[in-house]
Amino acid sequence: MGPKTTKVYETLRKRLAAGEYAPGGKLPSERALVEELGIGRTALRQVLARLVAEGALEVRGRSSYRVPGAVSVRRPDGVEPWRIHRERDLYDNRWVKLQLWDVEPPGMEPFEHHVVKLHHVAVTAVLDDQDRVLMMWRYRFVPQQFGWELPGGIVDVGEDPTDTALREVVEETGWRPKTLEHVVTYQPMVGMVDSPHDIFVGHGAERVGEPTDLEEAGHIEWVPLADIPGLMARGELMGSGTLVALLHILATRRGQGATAAH
């Protein structure tokens, strides 16, 4: 894409990331976007096709575009939460807190339940225009194995997770994403562990230097998205954040297909 088309692409992606277009809602018509953004219809369709391929838009019919995210299922009524009577610390340091909670599920007797509190984490998948994702080949001593991971790290107290995501990509890889979009927040072990994970997807990146976080950095490579299912089958994708981010990317492509770089 040329400079004008790239600018329109970045404008629409920022609007989508900021929630200016409601999930499930229609995008303005091609005529309205052509007039507003000052771009030709052919170039606009090139931008929209790229956003569809990335999963940022869905196409209905020939030229009706919608934002993904609408759901038909409703939240059930009348389901009661558990009651928490007391929390007490068993162990606490800068990395992990172990607590014992007195809890009472609806219709049951109270009992004690261990709860582990870990840090808030941000993980980022950065894609380039050749359908490749920025990854690191690392050794993890706890499972004692090598594997591919996405850059990510701890969200500092008072820090915006988006800032964390950007900082960690730069520190661990030496590449700076051009755009970042938050796609989901989840808990990796929701039954016992409290550790919110924010997942981001970035598009485009520029090399700004060498990695500065030598403890976290490993071998850095742009891995073709077409390789992800095979790497998953071989057990070489490390960590839930890496899996969630990559599965989100593959799922939102909705059959568009990821192709290896040539």
User: Which pLDDT tens digit goes with each residue over 157-195?
Assistant: 999 999 999 999 999 999 999 989 888 899 999 999 999
Q: What is the mean predicted confidence (pLDDT) over 72-94?
A: 92
259 occurs within a structural domain: no
Beta-bridged to residue 92, according to DSSP, are 97
- 262 lies in some domain: no
Taking only the tens place, the pLDDT of each residue in 124-149 is 999 999 999 999 999 999 999 999 99
**What is the rounded distance in angstroms from the CA atom of residue 65 to the CA atom of residue 9?**
15
List strand residue ranges (DSSP E) for the chain, in order. 58-60, 64-66, 83-92, 97-104, 111-117, 121-127, 132-140, 145-149, 152-154, 175-186, 193-194, 197-207, 219-224
Q: Based on the domain organization, do 11 and 30 belong to the same domain?
A: yes
pTM of the model: 0.75
Asked whether residue 49 falls in the same domain as residue 136, the answer is no
* 67-86: average pLDDT: 87
* Per-residue pLDDT band at 61 (split at 50, 70, 90): low
Residues 98 and 161 in one domain: no
Question: Is 138 found in the same domain as 237?
Answer: yes
User: Residue 1's pLDDT is what?
Assistant: 64
What percentage of the chain exceeds 70 in pLDDT? 94
Q: Write the CATH number for 177.
A: 3.90.79.10
Query: Same domain, yes or no, for 8 and 92?
Result: no
Averaged confidence pLDDT in the chain:
89
Residues 129 and 243 both lie in one domain: yes
215 and 178 in a common domain: yes
pLDDT at 113 over 60: yes
Share of the chain above pLDDT 90, in %: 63
User: What pLDDT is recorded for position 226?
Assistant: 94
258 found inside a domain? no
User: Quick one: 42 and 101 in the same domain?
Assistant: no
- Domain span including residue 109: 83-117
Judge whether 77 lies within some domain. no
Residue at 73 is within a domain = no
The number of folded domains in the chain is 3
